Structure formats: structure tokens, C-alpha cells
Amino acid sequence: MPVQWDDGAQRDFDNILKNLPQFHRSIAEKLVKEKAESLAEKRNSSLVEKKDLIVAFFQEVPPAFKDMMKRLMHQHGIDYSAYIDKD
């Protein structure tokens, strides 16, 4: 059964992607999408939720861009703090 996306998680994913530099957008879209769906499957869920999306972004984005991800998520009202290591 294919993994579906929660409406809120899909909206957040699309909004963040729109704000990434063009060069990084297509790479992030593929890697983060696959990772988020994999995380949902590991939870035995057929639905990608916001927590899957957040963890996927922070696991797939290179360390040099993590501060940018934090800013983008903050700008979109996404509280990532419960899902990532404090650094």
C-alpha cells in the first residue's frame, strides 16, 4: 500500500521546497520525500505526518544547511524543536 501524506505535512513540504534555492530544490524533494515516507513506514503508518517530514529534512539536508532549514521552518510556523537534537 503506497504511503499517503497528511494534508498539513504536504503543505509544509511544498512551502519549504518553494523557499529552497533552485539547485537544492529537486535534490531535497526526492531525498526528503523518500526519507519521510520511509520513516512513516517504520512507524507502521501509511500516512506521512509532520514529524516524519521534519526528521527527514534534518536527516537528509547537509549540515551546512541546517541553520537555513531551521529559519525556513520557523518562518512557516513549524516547531521542529521536539524532533531534532539540540545543537
User: Hey, what's the torsion of the CAs at 4, 8, 11, 17, to 10 degrees?
Assistant: -80
Q: Is the pTM of this model over 0.85?
A: yes
Please report, in tens digits, the pLDDT of each residue of the chain (87 residues total).
Answer: 689 999 999 999 999 999 988 888 888 899 999 999 999 999 999 999 999 999 999 999 888 888 989 999 999 999 999 888 755
41 — alpha (psi -120 to 50), left (phi > 0) or beta? alpha
Q: Rounded to an integer, what is the distance from CA 79 to the centroid of its chain?
A: 12
